[in-house]
């Protein structure tokens, strides 16, 4: 079963535990500037939204890469950077419509979410379940359930 | 380890920024943040200096756990000699600035001297420079934040600034970071403005590494996050209602100071409570509270993000206040509300917005307005002094007007900006000021919560709830329940809370974790992250060392045992209702025992044995 990161911004408090976990897992340091997941604050609206790579099936980044440095991880379905092949040309950062591939000036390579090989640190660290790692086919399940709960079938029951 | 071992020293008189190594021996004895910066103050600053003169210093200090994944590990403190009290001032703030500073590679920034022109400090990792703030002077914190983000074209810049209240000399001006988190108390913002320093703008991309045992630290952080999640206060009460969870609780216990502490119960408490913030407003169909919010790394998320009804009289035709911003915390809601007798939630939220917008402490401000209302009530001031405003208890108009005037220091606002002590002295009624060492009381009546009377009287930064929060034991039963109405055993209780807190405030963690954690939960974070062996006993002893160091600074500054007291009202006028009815504060019964427990002489000074036992500087 393939799994996906599922993000529910309504539950996010903006604590950036996900960013800390991500940077520590991938860079060995607590550094939100090096996180593959980002929490955006919309101050006026009072909203917090975590955002990261959605692992597109036909990933633009992968197709744009001139040196085949982005490959599909057979186990998780994530699109992973092969650091040794990456030449830091940044074409993938332009190709990605969502901005979730970014250049790391310390290494001269690009970085993106690789689902931590199947156990994403951001989801484990999130204290409010705003980020979960769930069955890729049913990421809409909670929202369906919420709407289902609002459905009035009292009329049917009494008919 | 966990420290970056680097201090940024900024000489504002000479315009220089230099890096120097952290004194790591001191770090072992004073941890970081509150403790370590106080050690620097004691070494470098003449305690008798004018707080608003160039000889005072202003230190922004992080703790070893700041910027790490330890839950709530995003705190920083500002340490200086305070203008409101003439004592050591240490104000703690959350938000994101502290972690950004640490991530830029700095344990602390020491600001000394005075710039001859307005400047702000720009820090990008190891690069630091003073830049002209000519265009920022005279601007609010919110405008400054916007202008600096625009100027540097960097949305990720973290900014702390003082507002117009600080520039115009308000003695309880704070420093506001991330728009609505504040090092709020004791006038640290006033000191900042006195140095012609408008803001710190920080970008840190180096991150915090240097953890002694990363695997054990991560395991500790994970376990301790779970402890917070499982506790009813940190896992449910604070996220749902914020600190405002307390409004109805304290009111019911008959310890909610009301109308300048004439009374101990407020009939409008429910209307300004955390529960009320969730209720849908009839006027615009929205609740006051939009969402809760977290500071850096915090898994509690007690912060309030609120709106004001756009049709409310305070914000009519003022769209700049129509969006979300930092909402009411309990202490602010009490000071702006119960203490002034105002029970209109949106007016309190408006006053709170202005406190953030122009950087002044809502506790001291609200309590000063309350004192002004009592002066008005007894005829000591009239509309002649108040620019025509009727300063009646309960007047929402007067409260909103006062906030606007203190923000800019205009007219009667300049009187209110002095704080309650100087205001009441000026108009001939010093006894009506509800202050200790010149700083206004927070939201717990010492007649109904006896331990808090002793905690206020002995607090090193003047009346304060965050120096020894015995409310936790006396009302909430954490870690164990004590009777709020008795004085027995309170000397030891206050001392223990004060010492624990002094250590906590030096680590980079938020004190609110202490509802669920003890030092036994803090110690493994410290021990796995930091050089040296850290257990709860060592932290406790370190806390005691820090407390005594602060005390020593204050005694050198000229404070005496006579300053360890409460206003006459607390000592002579009994509570008029509720469980504490007929009671005054039993301070006189607790204080001598407290001195003994502390190992202080009768004149309030540290004994030689205490100094030696704690290895304090001579």
Rounded Cα distance between B158 and B200, Å, is: 8
Q: Is residue A143 part of a domain?
A: yes
How confident is the model at residue A156, as a pLDDT?
58
User: What does the pLDDT average to over B181-194?
Assistant: 98
Angle at B543 between CA B200 and CA B481, to 5 degrees: 110
B123, B125, B152: which is closest to B136 by C-alpha? B152
pLDDT in tens, B243-286: 999 999 999 999 999 999 999 999 999 999 999 999 999 999 99
All residues of chain B having their beta carbon less than 8 Å from the beta carbon of residue A44 are: 323-324
Nearest to A127 among B207, B293, B299 (CB): B299
B535, B533, B526: which is closest to B221 by C-alpha? B526
Residue B471's Cβ-count burial label (10 Å; 0-12, 13-18, 19+) is: buried
Q: Is residue A144 part of a domain?
A: yes
Interchain contact B125–A (C-beta under 8 A):
no
Q: Which two tokens stand for residue A102?
A: 């970014």
- Cα distance from B613 to chain A (closest Cα, Å)? 37
Q: Which two tokens stand for residue B462?
A: 């003047």
User: What does the pLDDT average to over B523-544?
Assistant: 98
ipTM: 0.96
In a mutagenesis test of the A interface, which of B67, B155, B293 is the best target, namely the one with the most A β-carbons within 10 Å? Answer: B293
What are the residue boundaries of the structural domains of chain B, listed by start?
6-203, 232-433, 446-465+467-504+535-613
Class of domain B6-203: alpha beta
B208, B334, B305, B302: which is closest to B516 by C-alpha? B302
> Quick check: helix, strand or coil at residue B158?
strand
How confident is the model at residue A157, as a pLDDT?
55
Rounded Cα distance between B172 and B190, Å, is: 7
A18 and A88 part of one domain: no
pLDDT in tens, B296-308: 999 999 999 999 9
DSSP per position, B293-340: E--TT-SS--EEEE---TTSTTTTT-GGGSS-EE---HHHHIIIIITT
A107 and A83 part of one domain: yes
Q: Is residue A36 part of a domain?
A: yes
pLDDT in tens, A102-118: 999 989 999 999 999 99
pLDDT tens digit at each of 159 positions of chain A: 889 999 999 999 999 999 999 999 999 999 999 999 999 999 999 999 999 999 999 999 999 999 999 999 999 999 999 999 999 999 999 999 999 999 999 899 999 999 999 999 999 999 999 999 999 998 888 889 989 998 876 655 555
Residues A9/A49, Cβ–Cβ less than 8 Å: yes
Q: Which two tokens stand for residue B299?
A: 């898994």
Interchain contact A34–B (C-beta under 8 A):
yes
A67 and A136 part of one domain: no
pLDDT in tens, B353-392: 999 999 999 999 999 999 999 999 999 999 999 999 999 9
Residues B88/B554, Cβ–Cβ less than 8 Å: yes
pLDDT in tens, B487-529: 999 999 999 999 999 999 999 999 999 999 999 999 999 999 9
Rounded Cα distance between B46 and B57, Å, is: 10
Query: Residue-wise over B81-92: b if at least 16 C-beta within 10 A, else e?
Result: bbbbbbbbbbbb
Rounded Cα distance between B318 and B320, Å, is: 5
A71 and A32 part of one domain: no
Q: Is residue A157 part of a domain?
A: no
Q: Is residue A84 part of a domain?
A: yes
Are the Cβ atoms of A31 and B305 closer than 8 angstroms?
A: no
Provide the domain count of chain A.
2
What are the phi and psi torsion angles at B460 (to 5°)?
Answer: -70, -15
Interchain contact A33–B (C-beta under 8 A):
yes
A117 and A127 part of one domain: yes
Q: Domain containing A125: what range?
A: 1-52+113-152
| pTM reported for the whole predicted model | 0.97
Query: pLDDT-based confidence at B473, cuts 50/70/90?
Result: very high
A101 and A119 part of one domain: no
Please identify, among A97, A112, A127, the residue that sits at the C-terminal boundary of a domain: A112
Q: State which residue of chain A sits closest to B217, comparing Cα positions.
A: A24
Rounded Cα distance between B18 and B9, Å, is: 5
Query: pLDDT-based confidence at B618, cuts 50/70/90?
Result: confident
* pLDDT higher than threshold 80 for residue B455: yes
Q: State which residue of chain B sits closest to A47, comparing Cα positions.
A: B291
User: What does the pLDDT average to over B426-433?
Assistant: 98
A31 and A105 part of one domain: no
B493, B492, B491: which is closest to B481 by C-alpha? B493
Q: Is residue A129 part of a domain?
A: yes
Interchain contact A48–B (C-beta under 8 A):
yes
Give the CATH number, domain containing residue A117.
3.30.70.20
B446-465+467-504+535-613 classified as CATH 3.40.50.300:
no
A43 and A62 part of one domain: no
Are the Cβ atoms of B207 and A31 closer than 8 angstroms?
A: yes
Contacts of B507 (CB under 8 A, 6+ apart): B31, B32, B33, B63, B64, B65, B522, B525, B526
A101 and A135 part of one domain: no
* pLDDT higher than threshold 90 for residue B566: yes
* Equal CATH topology for B232-433 and B446-465+467-504+535-613: no
Are the Cβ atoms of A21 and B69 closer than 8 angstroms?
A: yes
All residues of chain B having their beta carbon less than 8 Å from the beta carbon of residue A30 are: 67-69, 103, 207-209
B156, B173, B93, B159: which is closest to B121 by C-alpha? B159
All residues of chain A having their beta carbon less than 8 Å from the beta carbon of residue B295 are: 15
Q: Which two tokens stand for residue B142?
A: 């919110």
How confident is the model at residue A139, as a pLDDT?
87
Rounded Cα distance between B309 and B287, Å, is: 9
Query: Residue-wise over B226-246: b if at least 16 C-beta within 10 A, else e?
Result: eebbebebbbebbbbbbbbbb
A3 and A75 part of one domain: no
Q: Is residue A159 part of a domain?
A: no
How confident is the model at residue B457, as a pLDDT?
98
Interchain contact A103–B (C-beta under 8 A):
no
Class of domain B232-433: mainly alpha
Four-residue CA torsion sign, B500, B502, B505, B506:
negative
Mean pLDDT across chain B: 98
Four-residue CA torsion sign, B485, B489, B490, B494:
negative
């Amino acid at each position: 079963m393939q799994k996906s990161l599922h993000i529910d911004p309504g539950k996010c408090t903006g604590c950036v535990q996900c960013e800390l976990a991500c940077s520590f897992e991938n860079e060995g340091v607590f550094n939100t500037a090096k996180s593959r997941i980002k929490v955006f604050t919309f101050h006026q609206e009072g909203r917090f939204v975590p955002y990261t790579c959605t692992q597109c099936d036909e990933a633009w980044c992968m197709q744009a890469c001139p040196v085949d440095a982005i490959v599909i991880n057979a186990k998780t379905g994530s699109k992973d950077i092969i650091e040794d092949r990456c030449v830091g040309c940044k074409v993938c950062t332009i190709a990605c419509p969502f901005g979730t591939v970014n250049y790391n000036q310390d290494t001269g390579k690009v970085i993106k979410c690789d689902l931590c090989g199947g156990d994403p640190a951001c989801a484990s660290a999130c204290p409010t379940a705003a980020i979960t790692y769930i069955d890729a086919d049913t990421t809409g399940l909670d929202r369906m359930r919420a709407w289902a709960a609002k459905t009035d079938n009292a009329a049917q029951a009494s008919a | 380890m966990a420290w970056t071992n680097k201090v940024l020293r900024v000489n504002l008189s000479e315009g220089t920024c230099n890096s120097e190594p952290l004194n790591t021996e001191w770090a072992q004895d004073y941890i970081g943040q509150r403790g370590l910066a106080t050690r620097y103050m004691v070494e470098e600053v003449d305690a008798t200096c004018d707080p608003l003169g160039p000889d005072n210093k202003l230190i922004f200090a992080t703790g070893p756990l700041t910027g790490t994944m330890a839950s709530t590990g995003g705190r920083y403190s500002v340490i200086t000699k305070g203008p409101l009290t003439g004592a050591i001032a240490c104000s703690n703030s959350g938000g994101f600035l502290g972690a950004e500073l640490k991530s830029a590679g700095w344990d602390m920034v020491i600001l000394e001297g005075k710039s001859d022109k307005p400047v702000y400090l720009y820090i990008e990792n190891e690069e630091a420079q003073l830049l002209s703030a000519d265009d920022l002077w005279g601007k609010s914190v919110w405008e400054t934040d916007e202008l600096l983000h625009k100027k540097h074209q960097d949305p990720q810049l973290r900014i702390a600034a003082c507002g117009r209240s600080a520039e115009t000399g308000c003695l309880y001006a704070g420093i506001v970071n991330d728009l609505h988190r504040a090092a709020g108390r004791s006038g640290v913002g006033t000191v900042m403005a006195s140095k012609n320093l408008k803001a710190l703008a920080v970008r840190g991309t180096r991150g915090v590494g240097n953890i002694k045992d990363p695997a054990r630290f991560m395991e500790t952080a994970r376990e301790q996050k779970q402890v917070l999640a499982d506790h009813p206060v940190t896992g449910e009460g604070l996220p749902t209602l914020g600190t405002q969870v307390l409004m109805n609780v304290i009111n019911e216990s008959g310890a909610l100071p009301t109308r300048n502490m004439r009374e101990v119960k407020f009939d409008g408490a429910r209307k300004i409570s955390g529960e009320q913030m969730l209720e849908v407003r009839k006027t615009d169909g929205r609740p006051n509270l939009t969402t809760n919010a977290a500071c850096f790394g915090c898994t509690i998320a007690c912060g309030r993000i609120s709106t004001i009804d756009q049709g409310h009289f305070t914000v009519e035709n003022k769209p700049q206040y129509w969006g979300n911003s930092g909402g009411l915390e309990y202490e602010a809601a009490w000071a702006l509300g119960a203490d002034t007798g105002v029970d209109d939630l949106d007016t309190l939220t408006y006053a709170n917005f202005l406190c953030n917008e122009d950087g002044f402490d809502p506790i001291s401000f609200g309590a000063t307005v309350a004192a002004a209302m009592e002066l008005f009530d007894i005829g000591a001031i009239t509309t002649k002094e108040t620019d025509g405003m009727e300063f009646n208890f309960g007047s929402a108009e007067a409260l909103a007007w006062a906030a606007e005037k203190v923000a800019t220091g205009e007219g009667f606002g300049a009187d209110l900006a002095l704080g309650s002590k100087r205001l009441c002295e000026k108009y001939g009624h010093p006894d009506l000021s509800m202050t200790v060492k010149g700083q206004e009381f927070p939201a717990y009546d010492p007649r109904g919560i006896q331990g808090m009377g002793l905690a206020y009287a002995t607090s090193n930064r003047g009346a304060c709830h965050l120096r020894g929060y015995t409310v936790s034991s006396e009302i909430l039963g954490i870690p164990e329940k004590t009777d709020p109405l008795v004085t027995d055993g309170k000397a030891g209780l206050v001392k223990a809370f004060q010492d624990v807190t002094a250590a906590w405030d030096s680590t980079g963690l938020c004190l609110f974790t202490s509802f669920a954690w003890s030092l036994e939960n803090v110690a493994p974070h410290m021990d796995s992250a930091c050089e040296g062996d850290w257990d709860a006993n060592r932290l406790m002893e370190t806390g005691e060392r820090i407390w005594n160091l602060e005390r020593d600074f204050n005694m050198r500054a000229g404070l005496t045992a006579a300053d360890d007291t409460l206003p006459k009202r607390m000592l002579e006028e009994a509570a008029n209702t509720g469980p504490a009815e007929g009671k005054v504060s039993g301070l006189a019964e607790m204080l001598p025992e407290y001195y003994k427990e502390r190992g202080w002489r009768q004149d309030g000074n540290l004994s030689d044995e205490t100094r030696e036992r704690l290895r304090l500087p001579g």
